[in-house]
Amino acid sequence: MLQKVSGFIEMHGLCLPTDKILVAVSGGIDSTVLCEVLHQLKYEFAVAHCNFGLRAEDAEADQLFVKKLAKKYEAPFFTENFNTRAFAEQEKLSIQMAARTLRYEWFEQVRQQEGYDYIATAHHSNDTTETVLLHLTKGTGIAGLHGIPAKNGRIIRPLLSITKDDIYEYVTERKIIWREDTSNETTKYQRNKIRHEVIPVLKEINPNLEETVQQSAERVSHAEAIVAAYIAQLREQSIKETQEAVYVALEPLRTATGLPVVLHELLRPYNFTYSVVLELVEALDGISGKQFESPTHIIVKDRDQLVITQRNLSSFGSILIHEGDTAAEAGNLTFSIKYVDAETYKLNTKPHVAALDAAQLKFPLKLRSWQEGDWFVPLGMNGKKKISDFLIDKKVPANLKSQTLVLVSDQSIAWVVGQRPDNRFKVSDKTEQVVEITLDRR
């Protein structure tokens, strides 16, 4: 198996032996095997784990298992907790789509911040079969028929030539332990229904179904490359990217053959569905101002162009502040950070400023949305108070409560952002260095 994976990596140019890889690890059999394979092939990798808050104690056990797995390989460990249900409800997404959106946004954030070259996921050839069948069932374009690409930007899939049977044989041979997700057995999810009820019937017709689908998907990929060349030419003519937005000029597109398909391909990086693109095409000759949404982006039709902006997903994840950082951003908020000797520091008591004792802080600090059950010790008090009660006492409007952030040091809240610091982190006559964090709304 190691030789097969190594050959697949080399054949598809997934990565170099010297590249640093961030591995997405759930704790299940596939991702656990991926860690073992990369370890045996002597790749330098880190482990990234998402806790979506959907499986109660099982999710906590998964998180602990993956943390121990990272320690076993002496690999850096990154983890994040998400309020997936809240995100899914707000964005009107299925739980699975919400989790996928949050997962990949966070993986890329960690990859960039920590200096990794690629994100590796544990998809295998059975996943390709399931994906193609699911896309065919729900309706798809060319991209939906190529299955799962071995390499997509910074995302790589080293196990894509491996079957599930190969994986089971490997764990038996190596005596590898993994966490079993019982949700994989229920057929209430579409992919599981395909896996457990549809594929066994198709394999009665073609026992080599996975191999056949994989070969067909590869042929579709070659056809897709021809289309991609045409799309690339149109992209160069019509798309301009800036820090604030992506602008799509409409004039070069009006004479394009198969405009809905062309526009869908142009907008694919921004996760717009084909049905939304069809609505957009109908609106191209209408008045300006109409808005269209994807899980990650928003398009506004503005006269002779489309304007694409990114949605703010930070309220469902977190932002890390490392020691020495002088600035941080969270959505439309910016934070400036200063490190000042206490002897020369003049205390600023405004609510948008937090003056904290550096010796009491444990970096990296984390900016995140407050959660039910969070508590702190408000400055000037000795007893702890739930943040929910604090915000009620402060008469913070309900629609603004959800936007309130907290600054976390280790497991303790050091500042309810824009409201009040925690008394345990206050500047005192024993303070030697002050960390001053100032909030600015853009």
Q: Are 264 and 298 in contact (CB under 8 A)?
A: no
d(CA 129, CA 127): 5
289 labelled ligand-binding: no
d(CA 20, CA 6): 16
153 labelled ligand-binding: no
Q: What is the CA radius of gyration of the chain?
A: 25
d(CA 303, CA 56): 49
383 labelled ligand-binding: no
φ, ψ dihedrals at 68, nearest 5° = -65, -35
* Of 157, 153, 172, 183, the residue nearest 5 (C-alpha): 157
Report the first-to-last Cα separation within the chain, whole angstroms.
52
Burial class of residue 353 (count of CB atoms within 10 Å of its CB; 0-12, 13-18, 19+): middle
d(CA 112, CA 41): 24
429 labelled ligand-binding: no
User: Which residue type, as a one-letter code, is found at position 55?
Assistant: R
Q: Are 425 and 361 in contact (CB under 8 A)?
A: yes
φ, ψ dihedrals at 436, nearest 5° = -105, 125
Six-digit token string for 92: 């009107």
139 labelled ligand-binding: no
Beta-carbon contacts of 343 under 8 Å, excluding residues fewer than 6 positions away, are none
Q: Are 431 and 357 in contact (CB under 8 A)?
A: yes
27 labelled ligand-binding: yes
Binding residues: 26-31
Which residues fall in the annotated binding site for ATP?
Answer: 26-31
